[in-house]
Amino acid sequence: MSKRFFTYMLLIAVAFSAVAQVNVTGKVIDKESNEPLTGASVIVKGTDGKIKKFASSKADGAFAMTLPSVTGCRLEVAMMSFAKQSIPLDSVTFPLTVYMEPGTTLLKEVTVKADRIREQGDTITYNVGSFAQQQDRSIGDVLKRMPGIDVAKNGKIQYQGEDINKFYIEGSDLLGGKYGIATNGISHDDVGAVEVMENHQPMQVLSGISFSDKAAINLKLKNKAKATWTFHGDAGGGYSWQPEGAIWDGELFTMAVMPGFQNITTFRTNNTGEDLSSSSIDFFAGRRNTGLSRYVSVGLPGVPSLSDKRTLFNRSFLVSTNSLWKLENGELKANIDYSFNRVTADASNITTYFLPDVEQGGRDVSRPYDGNRVITENRSGTEHTHSLSGKFIYELNRRTAFINNTLRANVDWDDVDLVTSGSIPNEQSAKLPDYYVSNNFKMIKRFKGNHLVTLQSVNEWESLPQTLTLTMVPDAADEMYRVTTGNKFRQHISDHAFYTHESAAYAFNIKGVTLSLEGGIKGYFRSMDSQLPDFPEEVPGLTENVVNTNYMTVYADPEFEYWVRRVNISLNLPVSYAHYTFDKAIANHDEVYFSPSLSFDWKPNNRFLGSFSGGLGRSPMNMNLIHPGLIMTNYRTLKAGTEQFYNSSSQNVSASVSYKHTRHGLFANGTVMQSWTHIPYTMSQQLYGDYVVYSYADADNDSRMLMAMGSVGKTLDFMRGSCNVNGSFSRNESQLLSQQQSVNSVSTGWSIGGKINGNPCRWFSFDYSIDYSDSRLTMNGMSESWLSTMENELSLTFIPYRKWQWTVSGEHYRNEITENSFNNVVMLDTKLIYQLNKRIELAASLTNILNKRSYNYITYSQLSSFESRRQLRGRQLLFSITLRK
């Protein structure tokens, strides 16, 4: 009986205790975005300051705890990047809503923050959130602020002054060299970190056997961007004052990153002056082995130093789809791109051809004008460009085997129509298609640990037809040079080439020493013919070419590589025998080439790297130069090739250093290069009236080139920013012939630049950059004046309220046209953004507020100067909406 009574009393006590419990519930909310916060620390402390209960907020921001009593207790809510909230619980009702405001979390008077840059072994990790600013849209905007990483204007990425060799998304190479699609399209808010993998060897089979001094970049996505489809889209419309009319700008970007599949598809179009080419450039693609290049060089006038958004009068369209499937044995990739561009341009130009002084016996006094030859032009033209490309890759990348087969096809159409008035009024029309197909197969097998066998097959075919139609427009001034007005000339060039390369190699590694021997055969078969009937008789020479240039090469390439601890030494000793045939156009040739090279890399620690390399050798001339007749490149320029086969010799040395201190956010690099080249032929310039003929003469041409460049980058943690200083110097010396007189040409230039950015407070951020350059041309010891250009860019972003963002930006261009005569242009823009919610954003932008409509500049080459006046895009107003998933 007593036992049963005790049990009843215990149950009653428990029941009374349960009735007395207090449920502490509520939600934690971000005060700025009104979104729930996950993972906030929620603690209840008693009157003595001791913790009575604790919990964490869930995905919906909710928390719940049960206490016997909350009398005299306080609720404390803390979370990184937010100010701690403390709430007395004596007189509150539940559930609570706790609003968190941005702030800094302090622990024992030490500010707690995530490292902006971390280093682990050969991997450098940049925290994207610590470099991003409110106005950033893509991950490419953030990459530009990361010290050690340089992003060129065309989108090319370098790390410590060297091109990267791979661009990964979650460890997969989806895009290859066309990573501009990712950097311009992926939202920075979807990327948690950017990893730089130093000394990255893309082929696992070569790990531990072949050294790589290149780095790769890997984007680490946030969880919300994985295993799902993400997309964002922009649509905008407005009005432009020059060219006058409606403008548009649109983009749709979709991405899927899943365990067995990746896809990025993008569609972009605009007529606002935005160049879309950076999204379709393959930065990893080498020069085509077919070796073809266009003879016809009719093109619209361009503007150096000014950005495309100021000078590009365009209608552009780009669609790109890229997929990667991970198979049981390897992966399959497909990259397909199509782009269209319609570009118009108007310019007034003055071209001055430098002629040798008469006192030196260099000028023909019988010419109708004394001194240098001056050509005036007013050009107006339109260019239509279509480009369709496809790349299909199968790859197996394992430690014991590597297989890669890449099938590539490119079809390009480029049509240019250009009307010119001035010294020789005319109309030009150029049809310039390009058809290219290639297949590259490579297999590497690793056996017995450190033995490698490699088989490779490369086959390429290209067709590059070119048609130039020239119509002379009646003008009284043309009678001076006996140009028959109204005449129409049509030049057609047919150019085809096929290249094949078959090779095998064997390598083995013993205690850090790798010995390898590669052998193979290369074949090249090219045919070119051109016809230009009825050209004006002012210019002497043949205007028909029928050329076949073929060769077969057998080669062997032994290589020695020493790779132990912190030192890598590599010695290459390639030797080859080549047989050239020209179908009786010129004599056949047999040549032996030997081009040794040596490289040395020293990395005493993870912070410092020093490199040295050098080489020498002989190489054949450019086969495109072998043609006896004239080829018209544009309405007043013709080129005659050579009727002989030449070889050139060269020597080169280079040295580079790099240093990094990731804890201090410091990155620095520098490179110096020197080369010497001997060519037994020299370019010659001859003027016939207003026509210019370039040819090649039997005269030694010894040229030298010196180049130095460097960069220093540093994080500025006190204002969540970074800075960079860079500089370069170059000097090129070469020989040419002008009016049959030797001309020694020396071009010298140097530049220095810097940039700084910061986010010193929640409501303000800025970006500033400055670039200054100076150049001079010296001919036969007589120097022109130093001419400088300077460009300043400043962007200020204000966030007066959490949903509003206002950006004011400007550019200042200072161009020295002649000595102490400067042309200054200031361009101002502004943009206002309203964030309706997390997924919808409205914007209005006004560019070129001052409505600047023209720009003057001058450039120099070895034998001429070029002065131009170009139209600029006028003021334009654009309204847009952005949607995000």
Answer yes or no: do 150 and 203 share one domain.
Answer: yes
Nearest-angstrom CA–CA distance, 203 and 396? 10
Q: Which of 226, 244, 266 is the last residue of a domain?
A: 226
Answer yes or no: do 121 and 222 share one domain.
Answer: yes
Structural element, H or E, at residue 309: helix 308-311
Write the DSSP assignment of 593-643 as a string of letters.
EE--EEEEEE-SSSSEEEEEEEEEEEEEPPGGGB-SSEEEEETTEEEE-BS
Nearest-angstrom CA–CA distance, 671 and 150? 15
The pLDDT value given to residue 356: 60
Answer whether residue 165 is part of any domain: yes
Q: Is 72 helix (H, G, I), strand (E, B) or coil?
A: coil
Answer whether residue 152 is part of any domain: yes
pLDDT category at 480 given cuts 50, 70, 90 is very low
Nearest-angstrom CA–CA distance, 620 and 646? 6
Residue whose C-alpha is closest to residue 625's, from 535, 545, 522, 691: 545
Q: How far apart, in Å, are the Cα atoms of 573 and each of 49, 452, 570, 593, 615?
A: 77, 19, 10, 11, 10
Answer whether residue 383 is part of any domain: no
Residue 22 or 845, more confident: 845
Provide the β-strand partners of residue 239. 246, 877
Nearest-angstrom CA–CA distance, 253 and 266? 4
Residue whose C-alpha is closest to residue 536's, from 467, 488, 493, 473: 488
pLDDT value at 358 more than 50: no
Q: Which of 169, 194, 226 is the last residue of a domain?
A: 226
Q: How far is CA 622 from the centre of its chain?
A: 27
The pLDDT value given to residue 2: 47
The pLDDT value given to residue 4: 55
pLDDT tens digits for 431-459?
999 999 999 999 999 998 889 999 999 99
Mean pLDDT of 388-400: 96
Residue whose C-alpha is closest to residue 505's, from 291, 209, 215: 209
% the chain with pLDDT above 70: 91
Instruction: Tell me the three-class secondary structure of 367-424, residue by residue.
Output: CCCCCCEEEEEEEEEEEEEEEEEEEEEEEEECCCEEEEEEEEEEEEEEEEEEEEEECC
Q: How far apart, in Å, are the Cα atoms of 852 and each of 88, 195, 239, 308, 783?
A: 62, 42, 16, 15, 34
pLDDT value at 849 more than 50: yes
Mean pLDDT of the chain: 88
pLDDT tens digits for 150-186?
998 888 999 999 999 999 999 999 999 999 999 999 9
pLDDT tens digits for 547-585?
999 999 999 999 999 987 789 999 999 999 999 999 877
Q: Is beta strand 821-835 parallel, antiparallel or unpaired with respect to 804-818?
A: antiparallel
pLDDT value at 105 more than 70: no
Answer yes or no: do 76 and 177 share one domain.
Answer: no
pLDDT tens digits for 47-62?
777 788 888 888 678 8
How would you classify residue 881: left for phi > 0, otherwise alpha for psi between -120 and 50, otherwise beta? beta
Provide the β-strand partners of residue 707. 673, 730
Answer whether residue 269 is part of any domain: no
Answer yes or no: do 13 and 66 share one domain.
Answer: yes
Answer whether residue 189 is part of any domain: yes
Answer whether residue 263 is part of any domain: no
How would you classify residue 182: left for phi > 0, otherwise alpha for psi between -120 and 50, otherwise beta? alpha
Question: Angle at CA 674, nearest 5°, toward 671 and 680?
Answer: 150
Answer yes or no: do 46 and 74 share one domain.
Answer: yes
pTM for the model stands at 0.82
Contact assessment for residue 55 and residue 65, using Cβ atoms and an 8 Å cutoff: yes
Answer whether residue 222 is part of any domain: yes
Answer yes or no: do 139 and 104 share one domain.
Answer: no
pLDDT value at 505 more than 50: yes
pLDDT category at 18 given cuts 50, 70, 90 is very low
Answer yes or no: do 90 and 162 share one domain.
Answer: no
- Residue 273 has what DSSP assignment? S
Q: What is the CATH number of the domain that holds 29?
A: 2.60.40.10
Answer yes or no: do 28 and 83 share one domain.
Answer: yes
% the chain with pLDDT above 90: 60
pLDDT tens digits for 597-618?
999 999 999 899 999 999 999 9
pLDDT value at 707 more than 70: yes
Q: What is the CATH number of the domain that holds 138?
A: 2.170.130.10
Nearest-angstrom CA–CA distance, 244 and 772? 33
Question: Angle at CA 583, nearest 5°, toward 581 and 585?
Answer: 100
Answer yes or no: do 202 and 157 share one domain.
Answer: yes
Answer yes or no: do 96 and 122 share one domain.
Answer: no
The pLDDT value given to residue 428: 94
pLDDT value at 836 more than 60: yes
Domain limits at 202?
117-226
The pLDDT value given to residue 486: 53
Answer yes or no: do 123 and 197 share one domain.
Answer: yes
Q: Which of 90, 111, 132 is the last residue of a domain?
A: 111
pLDDT category at 479 given cuts 50, 70, 90 is very low
Write the DSSP assignment of 126-193 as a string of letters.
EEHHHH--TT--BHHHHHTTSTTEEE-TT--EEETTEE-SEEEETTB-SSTT-THHHHHHSBGGGEEE
In which residue are the tokens 């005569």 written? Answer: 821
Question: Angle at CA 837, nearest 5°, toward 833 and 842?
Answer: 30
Contact assessment for residue 858 and residue 865, using Cβ atoms and an 8 Å cutoff: yes
Tell me how many domains the chain contains. 2
| Low-confidence winner among 74-83, 317-326, 675-684, 749-758 (lowest mean pLDDT) | 74-83
Provide the β-strand partners of residue 79. 82
How would you classify residue 253: left for phi > 0, otherwise alpha for psi between -120 and 50, otherwise beta? beta
| Low-confidence winner among 5-19, 708-722, 815-829 (lowest mean pLDDT) | 5-19
Answer whether residue 135 is part of any domain: yes
Answer yes or no: do 7 and 95 share one domain.
Answer: yes
